[in-house]
Amino acid sequence: MNKKLPKILFYTPTYPWDNYTDKEMIERNLISGNTGNLLFGYSAVNLFDVPKENFVRVWDFQHDKKLQEEEYDYFVLPMANGFRNGNIEELTNLTKVAEKVKTSRIILCGVGGQFGQSGFGNLAEEILEAITTFTTTILKKAKTIGVRDIRTFEFLTQKIGLQENQVDVIGCPSIRYFGPQAPKMKEYQPWNDDFKIAVNYTPGEYHDQWARFIDKIFREKEKSFAIMQDLEEGELLLNHKRITTFEKMHDLLPTRIDHPIIRNGRARIFGTPDSWYGSMKTFDFSIGTRIHGNVAPLLMGVPSMTIAIDSRVEGLAKYFNMPYIWFDEIKETTTVEELYYRALAEMPKFYETFDEKYDEYINFFVKNGVSLKDMKEDYVPDRLRSGKL
């Protein structure tokens, strides 16, 4: 370890430089249950200009007393929808790490709630207590908390009781995977029924209204492919292991091995961001209910339409000006061609505001004590290095 350079405690199961195959990543669950976790986790790692040996994983920290005695320059926590029912164990464990780690700078970036189209949902008293303890502990070593969307900002300030100046809306790190250069959209093409379409969906958050639309795409478009993300879906594809979680088993979706999409080889799952991005380059359109399922193709310049099923999806799409439609806007007459053209019409705003959103992200890190010299030179645009923070 280079003692002259920053030492960073990082919340990630793996690093971008690890040489695991897609199969190994899934079979060993190095995706932490969902491949979308890799996009925002690796993106946060990519920001830092620090040698590999100066990164320490939270898992190693928790199991090595020597690592717990070390001083850390930063504790970086890229998170997603951490404020939800059933997530007490993760929040409790991270609270303990935050209390124990010897650092004066904790960077909690991209955390969010999982609510419906309005309000803050029906969160149990136990999870509300865990969220309160977690956030107040983090703020002892952080100036602000970086949340993914405005609804989470409102939740923390109105429901949990944090001050408005303690919370910043910064979106998700995943959009910044390749740094400050905005992706370039593929050359415009009029709709063609021969388009190769990436279709993503969320089996555990099933609703008949969007599921019937997804099923119609699969049945009518011969070059539509299911892009899966869940661990159980990966085990289904790789090892023909049956999905056993009841909430994820649906006839309209490819959730069983005899489904035509799986049987005909039209399902994919990627255990590494590189393979995911590489595959997305070959598609003409992406559509579905998963935010990271549409971030990956969007960063490859592929027109994408997100179907919002809850606040975690809608909030990020809205913040980044990604094309999106609420699931209950989809009617029996809605066509994939119609949503393709809607995506083309709405995507310019994503590109127009990319720099502004990127600067908000970097400014958040600086506000919380991260030095620009500790960030990769090509990840910090000149306009920020010149002192316009």
Q: How far apart are CA 315 and CA 112, in angstroms?
A: 9
Q: What are phi and psi of 159, to 5 degrees?
A: -100, -45
CB–CB of 292/174 below 8 Å? yes
Q: What is the pTM of this model?
A: 0.95
Q: Which of 379, 45, 383, 384 is nearest to 179 (CA)?
A: 379
What is the residue-wise DSSP string for 292-331? Answer: HHHHHHHHTT--EEEEE-SHHHHHHHHHHT--EEEGGG--
Strands laid side by side in the 74-78 sheet? 55-57, 8-10, 74-78, 106-111, 145-147, 167-169
The residue to which tokens 């990436």 are assigned? 198
Q: Torsion angle of alpha carbons 203, 318, 88, 227, nearest 10°?
A: 30
Query: What 8-state DSSP symbol labels residue 205?
Result: G
pLDDT at 365: 98
pLDDT at 299: 96
User: In angstroms, what CA-CA distances link 77 with 25, 127, 278, 286, 310?
Assistant: 21, 19, 27, 29, 23
Quick one: average pLDDT of 239-249? 95
Helix (H, G, I), strand (E, B) or coil at 380: coil
Contacts of 158 (CB under 8 A, 6+ apart): 120
Domain with CATH 3.40.50 in the chain: 197-352
Sign of CA dihedral 168, 169, 172, 177: negative
CB–CB of 15/60 below 8 Å? no
Q: How far apart are CA 156 and CA 246, in angstroms?
A: 32
Average pLDDT over the chain reads 96
Helix (H, G, I), strand (E, B) or coil at 226: strand
Q: Which has the minimum average pLDDT: 113-122, 191-200, 292-301, 367-376?
A: 113-122
pLDDT at 387: 61
Residue 37 has pLDDT above 90, yes or no: yes
Please tell me the CATH code under which domain 197-352 is placed.
3.40.50
pLDDT level of residue 385 (50, 70, 90 thresholds): confident
CB–CB of 351/185 below 8 Å? yes
pLDDT at 388: 52
Quick one: average pLDDT of 186-196? 94
pLDDT digits (tens, 9 = 90+) for 201-211: 999 999 999 99
pLDDT level of residue 218 (50, 70, 90 thresholds): very high
pLDDT digits (tens, 9 = 90+) for 331-384: 999 999 999 999 999 999 999 999 999 999 999 999 999 999 999 999 999 888
Q: How far apart are CA 296 and CA 292, in angstroms?
A: 6
